[in-house]
Structure 1
Amino acid sequence: MRGIFIGLGLFLLAVVVGVAYWYEGNHKTLLTIKGIVGSEKSNFLENPRVRSILETKYGLKLDYTREGSIEMVSSPVKDDIDFLWPSSQVALELFKNTQSNRLIQSELVFNSPVVLYSWDIVVKALVAQGLVKVEDSVAYLTDMDKLIRWELTGKSWPDIGLPDLYGKVNVITTDPTKSNTGNLYAGLMANFLSPDGVNDPDSVDRILPSLQKLFTRQGFMQSSSGFLFEQFLQTGVGQYPLIADYENQIVEFSLQHPDFWPKVKDKIKIVYPVPTVWSEHPVLILNKKALPLLDALKDPEIQRIAWEEHGFRTGLIGVQNDPKVIKVDGLARSINKTMPMPRAAIMEKIINALNTNNQ
């Protein structure tokens, strides 16, 4: 009998220890870090699998708000903000120029090239006009200079073989003074407008009138790349014949809207400017408590989810992204033809000029 009681006692002790261990493992205190992120990354951060990995493997919970990359670094950041996650190295450099004392560490974790989105009938016309070439089912805009000339001289869509479209040839972007996609496209245009490159204040002064004209013609501009892409899809070719946005937008949309995607997938076309610019996504650590976030975002599983479910190419050296796992036609296997963005000081001058232009 005594042995029975001893055995029962040991069993109950094991149960208590097991329950305590389970409770501790499933109710551990999470470290909450507060940040500001670009809107294009919000769906990624809301992915249940990403949140689960951050919480269970790294003990992190993110409390974040969304803001345009240029906006988030243009004014003093509050002391309770632990990290920023903009969408370009330019934003990082602008932050360093004004608030370098807040920056503890920064690291690049994702990339996404700037692309043009259009429709089948528009791309067909651009091919006929010699601006676009298709290689292995991937469309490349190989004569950006000609497209810019069309915009500056006011060539209309009917002029290039699209009689059903109204208005002038124009690439629609987000607001370059607030949103990173518009800002990156402004930098890309500045490089094309200056034959020798935009390397100093004098060279940028020469091209500012043309750059201002390109953006003035757009009228109202969205402040969010995600919202611009949604408007592009919802209103169609008549309202948005040609836009500039992130490559990852189409990957993310195709997976998040499985019912709607089959209806439009054959009409939407990705066009890669040659060359293009990278949208780089550096994480800026402002408080030491947020340092574990850098390791978490470099986790192989998180990087895989970022590419396969959200279209972000890896920012890690030696890691390749296979387009075959993504069911989107026209996605380039690699992005090799790129140009660097103008220096942060030059981009700041461009932003100020375009901001004045928008007032």
Structure 2
Amino acid sequence: MKRRLSIALAVLLLIAVVVVVVIDRDDSTPAASGETQQVRGVIGSEKVAFFRDRRVVDAFARHGVRVEVDSAGSRQIATTVDLAKYDFVFPSSSPAAQKIQRDRKITTAYTPFQSPMAVATFEPIVNLLSANGVVRQGGLDVGKYLDLARTGVRWDQLPGNTVFPARKNVLVTTTDPRDSNSAAMYLAITSFVANGNNVVSTEDAENRLLPELTKLFLDQGYTEGSTDGPFGDYLATGMGRTPMVLIYESQYLDRLIRGDGSIRPDMRMLYLSPTVYSKHTLVPLTPKGDQIGQLLTTDPELAKLAATFGFRTNDPRTFNEVVAEHKLPVPADLVDVVDPPTFETLERLLDAIGKQYR
């Protein structure tokens, strides 16, 4: 009897030890210890600041993920970047994302935010172009602008120009069309207008428009590979060097929201009329990448943070709340918006223009 009692006590003690061990192991799970799962992506450069912001990092960590990103141009992501080591791609244009989907037979994609193309300029330039019929109702009339660019009109040749008599062509400063998504979006807008307000969809139209479209880029001289370059010049050097700079709306709003004084009282943002939306489209390559797409699309905290970087969110109410909170001078909706050509059409145009640089 005593032996049976001793065995029973030993069994009870063993069970107690197992329970303690199990509890201890539960305390060391990733959720309890703060461990996170690493997810890797390649993204457009204009989103790097968002992904590396401490608030964004912490928001992802609360969902058990740590997102590490590399940056590349949208064209590069779609054509030359080795995607084998990534869980998701996040180019800045829907045509690039659609090419990746087609090439990899992926049906899922997320567009958590987007940004229309705009022009950063200055109040004297706005007044001068308004007097010459190029700016109307707060927007840069692309048709009127192309009329000036087509004939090589200089700033000092504009009637009544006493504020900016520069001896250089009236041109919007863009990025390099061989590298940059923003330059591709500019090409999408200008090709649409030059094509009689129709999306370019045939090779005949491409060949007919190429000389005029090429001139818009080559006449600028040197161009940089990222919008951060010309926008930085705009902020630092003022009207003399860069009277009009192509930007993403989000870049300008980001600076206004920061309130760091980089947007001075004489600076203005004009929307192109028409414009296009640069749609930041995430394509998941693995289940982990799909989780990032879902979080960016559905998590209210991440959406609010994206809006504070100037991005127009999937749910417009989030963006509008940030606009109202910071009293940003932007419309809730843009009406004069067109679609870009297909990726293949844009690629042919960009490649043809790029060859003229050599």
TM-score, L = length of structure 2: 0.86
Deviation at 1:163, TM superposition (A): 4.2
Q: Which amino acid aligns with 1:250?
A: Y
> Contact (CA 8 Å) 2:304, 2:319: kept in 1 or not?
no
Equivalent residue, structure 2, for 1:45? 51
1:168-219 deviations in Å (ceiling 9; x for gaps): 1011111122111111001111101111621211111110111011111111
1:54 aligns with 2:52: no
Aligned to 1:202: 204
Are the counterparts in 1 of residues 101 and 283 from structure 2 also a CA contact under 8 Å?
Answer: no
Shift of 1:228: 2.3
Aligned equivalents of 2:26, 2:99: Cα separation in 1:
50
Secondary structure of 2:356's partner?
A: helix
**CA distance 1:293–1:219, shift in 2 (3 Å):** same
CA distance in 2, matches of 1:354, 1:33: 37
Q: In structure 1, what residue type is equivalent to 2:245?
A: I
Q: 1:7 — aligned with what?
A: none
Q: Which residue of 2 aligns with 1:8?
A: none
Match of 2:131 in 1: 128
Distance (whole Å) between structure 2 residues aligned to residue 177 and residue 75 of structure 1: 13
Task: Point out the structure with max Rg over C-alpha.
Answer: 2
Say whether 1:115 aligns with 2:118.
yes
How many residue pairs end up in the alignment?
333
Contact 1:37-1:85 within 8 A present in 2 as well: yes
Which AA in structure 2 matches 1:158?
D
Give, in whole Å, the separation in 2 of the partners of 1:31 and 1:352: 40
The range that moved more, 63-72 or 87-96, is 87-96
In the alignment, is residue 186 of structure 1 matched against residue 187 of structure 2? yes
For 1:326 and 1:166, locate their aligned partners in 2 and report how far apart those are by CA, in whole Å.
38
1:277 aligned residue: 276
Q: 1:165 maps to what in 2?
A: 166
> Is 1:69 aligned with 2:69?
no
**Which sections of structure 1, spanning at least 5 residues, go unmatched?**
1-12
How far apart, CA to CA, are the structure 1 residues paired with 2:330 and 2:316?
Answer: 21
Q: Which consecutive residues of structure 2, in runs of 5 or more, have no partner in the other structure?
A: 1-18
Listed as ranges, the matches of 1:314-333 within 5 Å are: 314-316=313-315, 321-322=320-321, 323-328=323-328, 330-333=329-332
* Offset of residue 152 of structure 1: 1.8
| Percentage of matched positions with identical amino acids | 25
SS of the residue aligned with 1:223?
coil
Distance in 1 (alpha carbons) for counterparts of 2:74 and 2:65:
23
| Corresponding residue number in structure 1 for 2:223 | 221
- Write the letter of the residue equivalent to 1:212: T
Amino acid of the structure 2 residue aligned with 1:176: P
Q: 1:223 to 1:208 in 2, by over 3 A?
A: same
Matched letter for residue 111 of structure 2: L
Pair 1:89–1:179, CA change in 2 (3 A)? same
Question: Distance in 2 between the 1:62 and 1:26 partners?
Answer: 19
Pairwise CA distance, 1:24? 5.7
| Residue-by-residue CA offset, 1:216-275 (whole Å, 9 max, x unaligned) | 11111111122321121112111100111100001212334x3433xx431111111122
**1:5-56 alpha-carbon deviations (Å, 9 max, x no partner):** xxxxxxxx99xx7997598645233111111111111111122111111011
Pairwise CA RMSD: 2.5
Q: 1:237 aligns with which of 236, 239, 242?
A: 239
